[in-house]
């Protein structure tokens, strides 16, 4: 009786959140893919500068726990739009019917990197042979890492990888318990600040320099929203792009906007973090194809890495099905 | 004279021990130059606590407290009546007890992400997670207390023509009060744990969220400060439940306080 009562409460609450989402026409429940930090600043800048308000959109910002969490929450109606790695969406869509589609690219270079200490004799991927790296237990980078090694003529077990809590990686690196860490490049300022305390300087080996190409962070929308209110999606994407350009031009402003909405943030570190992620946004690819675009070739390459990493047949997903270009502003 | 000194020492012992421990901690960290991102000194923790604006502390503490109390209240409101039903009906107890054990045996931490997906944003999933963690001890302990009523008393009340409801209200529940309160004390600390577990999975504020947020920037002293607030909150609630028992049911306390 209790279990059933609980289930009906769960169901009733679930339904009420779904319908609430459907009714509020000009409200977007936005999901960031991780805890507030500088690289998530764009959405906050858009809100603080009143860009969304001027377009008649109310934005509620929520914090997801990883890209696949964002995909799940958008798919089940716990959010409307959000940011996450395109690989995570492709992986989810290859395995099941997932009503979420990418509507705009944000990173045109993959953010994954290896952080090592300057002067430790590690200047190239090959120098990592027999070294030990720390990585976050649930990081999506973990599945791609062996492939990056293979693509560079190394065996997958050439480097020892320890899976730890994200909060423990910096301290382990600073104390020299590991030779390096696997991180998104956007985490560099926080690491640099910590390493400085330990008398070290962080050196970055971006995977994109070792053949790991593809779209990284992208904007997702739930198919329900796309179907019910495509005009709103179009409007939202256009405003977001405007905020994105504003942030790239002035990372300090982006950091300050984040600080204004999340008081616990250090505005300077946030500005630095956004400046680093701007290198993944404002790339040669983006300059050539236009900000936000999905080019078929790079899309195919993004999927090829996912398929290989997940051991999926190449035809498990048509990468074109993961994206739509209908909302990307000219 | 010597006796008063000894008794003063006896009363102050916990405080002195705690202060001594803090001193050793501080000294060890300084002497061994342990970096603050591994184990911060107590002074660094205090310092970082003051760097966080008060409004921020209040905001996070209130978020955690709100969820804990809602989940706890729900657990009490459902747990005690359920326990009365289980203790008085063999059929119900046979039917429901295994299911309760199944719920209790499920690692809530593992189910939490699913609950969040089903219930969406807002307090609802966090309250449900807290409820699931807190209600089992309340049910079990209350049932035990109700069944501890001497059968002779129940038989007497029946022979005197008291109704079932009255027997529960006037005999069984008073007998169960010590059991209920021991469960309420345990559960109130579990409620804080439940709220923190929920905040690790999905939240925009709260002390659990603040700890995850702080460690994501390697601000370990700040995370420790949040931990201190969490422990204080937990202790305060524990004492509040104990105080409630002392005020409302003084007769139910053991003869000597442990």
- Is B40-252 assigned to CATH 1.10.3720.10? yes
Q: Write down the domain spans for chain B.
A: 1-33, 40-252
Three-class secondary structure of residue A323 per DSSP: strand
Interstrand relation of A132-136 and A100-105 (parallel, antiparallel or unpaired) = unpaired
* Interface-testing mutation among B51, B103, B120, with chain A (most A C-beta atoms within 10 A): B120
- Is A112-210 assigned to CATH 3.40.190.10? yes
| pLDDT for the residue A248 | 97
Query: Which residue numbers of B have CB closer than 8 Å to A's CBs?
Result: 35-38, 52-53, 55-56, 78, 82, 95-96, 99-100, 103, 113, 115-122, 124, 128, 201-204, 209-210, 212-218, 220, 223
Predicted TM-score (pTM) of this structure: 0.83
Nearest CA in chain A to B82: A2
| Neighbour count for residue A198 (Cβ, 10 Å) | 15
Residue B38: both structure tokens together: 């591994």
pLDDT tens digits, residue range B132-170?
Answer: 999 999 999 999 999 988 888 888 888 888 888 888 888
d(CA A309, CA A144): 6
Which letter does DSSP use for residue A35 in this model? S
- Residues whose CB falls within 8 Å of the CB of residue A128, separated by 6 or more in sequence, listed in order: A114, A116, A122, A154, A158, A159, A179, A180
Q: What are the φ/ψ torsions at residue A104 (nearest 5 degrees)?
A: -165, 140
The class that CATH gives domain A26-109+214-322 is: alpha beta
pLDDT tens digits, residue range B3-42?
Answer: 788 888 888 888 999 999 999 999 999 999 888 888 999 9
**What proportion of chain B, given as a percentage, has pLDDT over 90?**
61
The answer to whether B156 touches B96, Cβ cutoff 8 Å, is no
Locate CATH 3.40.190.10 in chain A: 26-109+214-322, 112-210
Nearest Cα to B182, choosing from B101, B246, B241, B250?
B241
Residue B213: both structure tokens together: 């947020």
- Residues whose CB falls within 8 Å of the CB of residue B229, separated by 6 or more in sequence, listed in order: B49, B57, B60, B61, B207
Three-class secondary structure of residue B255 per DSSP: coil
The answer to whether A173 touches A181, Cβ cutoff 8 Å, is yes
Residue A22's pLDDT band (cuts 50, 70, 90)? very low
* Interface-testing mutation among B51, B123, B217, B219, with chain A (most A C-beta atoms within 10 A): B217
Nearest Cα to B220, choosing from B57, B96, B35?
B35
Residue B224: CA count within 13 A, CB half-sphere: 18
Nearest Cα to B140, choosing from B77, B88, B79?
B79
* CA-based end-to-end distance of chain A: 57
Residue A4 pLDDT > 70? no
d(CA A233, CA A254): 23
- Of A14-28, A126-140, B219-233, the poorest mean pLDDT is in A14-28
Q: What are the φ/ψ torsions at residue A217 (nearest 5 degrees)?
A: -55, 130
């Amino acid at each position: 009786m209790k279990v059933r009562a609980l289930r009906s409460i769960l169901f009733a609450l679930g339904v009420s959140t779904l319908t609430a989402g459907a009714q509020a026409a000009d409200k977007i429940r936005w999901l960031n893919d991780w805890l507030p930090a500088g690289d998530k600043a764009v959405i906050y800048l858009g809100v603080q500068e009143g860009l969304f308000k001027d377009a008649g959109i109310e934005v509620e910002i929520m914090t997801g726990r990883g890209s696949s969490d964002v995909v799940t929450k958008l798919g089940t109606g716990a959010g409307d739009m959000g940011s996450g790695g395109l690989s995570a969406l492709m992986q989810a869509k290859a395995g099941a019917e997932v009503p979420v589609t990418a509507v705009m690219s944000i990173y045109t270079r993959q953010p994954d990197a290896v952080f090592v200490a300057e002067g430790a004799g590690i200047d190239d991927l090959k120098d990592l042979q027999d070294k030990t790296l720390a990585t976050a237990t649930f990081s999506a980078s973990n599945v791609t890492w062996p492939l990056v090694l293979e693509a560079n003529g190394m065996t997958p077990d050439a480097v020892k990888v320890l899976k730890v809590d994200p909060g423990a990686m910096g301290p382990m690196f600073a104390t020299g318990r590991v030779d390096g860490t696997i991180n998104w490049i956007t985490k560099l300022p926080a690491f640099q600040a910590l390493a400085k305390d330990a008398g070290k300087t962080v050196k970055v080996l971006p995977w994109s320099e070792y053949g790991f190409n593809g779209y990284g962070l992208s904007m997702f929308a739930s198919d329900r929203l796309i179907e019910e209110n495509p005009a709103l999606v179009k409007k939202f994407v256009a405003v977001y792009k405007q905020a994105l350009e504003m942030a790239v031009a002035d990372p300090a402003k982006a950091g300050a906007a984040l600080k204004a909405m999340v008081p616990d943030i250090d505005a300077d570190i946030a500005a630095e973090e956004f400046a680093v992620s701007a290198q993944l946004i404002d790339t040669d690819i983006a300059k050539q194809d236009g900000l936000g675009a999905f080019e078929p070739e790079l899309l195919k390459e993004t999927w090829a890495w996912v398929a290989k990493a997940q051991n999926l047949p190449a035809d498990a997903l048509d990468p074109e099905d993961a994206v739509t270009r209908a909302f990307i502003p000219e | 004279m010597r006796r008063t000194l000894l008794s003063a020492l006896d009363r102050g012992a916990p405080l002195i021990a705690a202060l001594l421990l803090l001193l050793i901690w501080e000294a060890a960290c300084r002497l061994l130059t342990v970096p603050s991102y591994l184990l911060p000194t107590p002074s660094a923790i205090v310092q970082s606590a003051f760097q966080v604006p008060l409004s921020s502390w209040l905001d996070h503490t209130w978020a955690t407290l709100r969820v804990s109390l809602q989940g706890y209240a729900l657990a009490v409101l459902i747990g005690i009546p359920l326990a009365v039903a289980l203790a008085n009906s063999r059929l119900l107890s046979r039917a429901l007890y295994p299911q309760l054990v199944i719920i209790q045996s499920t690692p809530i931490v593992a189910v939490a992400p699913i609950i969040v997906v089903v219930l969406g944003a807002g307090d609802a999933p966090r309250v449900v997670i807290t409820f699931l963690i807190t209600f089992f001890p309340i049910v079990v302990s209350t049932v035990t207390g109700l069944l501890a009523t001497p059968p002779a008393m129940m038989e007497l009340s029946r022979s005197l023509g008291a109704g079932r409801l009255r027997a529960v209200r006037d005999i069984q529940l008073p007998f169960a009060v010590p059991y209920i309160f021991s469960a309420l004390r345990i559960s109130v600390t579990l409620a804080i744990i439940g709220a923190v577990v929920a905040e690790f999975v999905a939240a925009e504020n709260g002390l659990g969220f603040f700890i995850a947020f702080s460690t994501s920037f390697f601000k370990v002293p700040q995370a420790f400060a949040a931990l201190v607030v969490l422990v204080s909150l937990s202790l305060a609630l524990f004492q509040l439940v104990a105080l409630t028992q002392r005020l409302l049911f003084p007769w139910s306390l053991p003869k000597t306080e442990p």
